[in-house]
Amino acid sequence: SQQGEEDPQALSIQEGENATMNCSYKTSINNLQWYRQNSGRGLVHLILIRSNEREKHSGRLRVTLDTSKKSSSLLITASRAADTASYFCASRSGSARQLTFGSGTQLTVLP
């Protein structure tokens, strides 16, 4: 079963604009990760934020985590056409060994 939901399900923006995706989860987590998936391909890890962190940056990516609201957001600044992909949040809870993924946001960046 999916750990949580992502919002929006689909997002279309112009190149150069910022894209914000949100993720909500259900149970307490050890960390939360974001992955990108190009159409028909495997997932690529983007960034990991631990449960005791509130914000993290990596290049054009900014992730926030609010454990009180059980939510996270991924901001991609100055988007490019190459950012077009599906973005998934994933979390690991307690002693679970596997990641539990959200349902994903399909981002389309128009040139």
Partner 1 sequence: DTGVSQNPRHKITKRGQNVTFRCDPISEHNRLYWYRQTLGQGPEFLTYFQNEAQLEKSRLLSDRFSAERPKGSFSTLEIQRTEQGDSAMYLCASRGGEETTDTQYFGPGTRLTVL
- Interface residues with partner 1 (CB under 8 A) are 1-2, 30-31, 33, 35, 40-45, 48, 88, 90, 92, 97-104
Nearest to partner 1 of 41, 80 (CB atom): 41
CB of 86 to partner 1, least distance (A): 9
Nearest to partner 1 of 2, 28 (CB atom): 2
Tell which residue, 64, 55, 59, 61, has the closest CA to residue 19. 61
CB of 103 to partner 1, least distance (A): 5
Nearest to partner 1 of 40, 59 (CB atom): 40
d(CA 89, CA 22): 9
Please tell me the number of Cα atoms within 13 Å of 45 on its side-chain side. 7
CB of 58 to partner 1, least distance (A): 12
Give yes or no for a contact between 73 and 20, defined as CB atoms under 8 angstroms apart.
Answer: yes
- Given phi > 0 = left and psi -120 to 50 = alpha, else beta, which region is 59? left
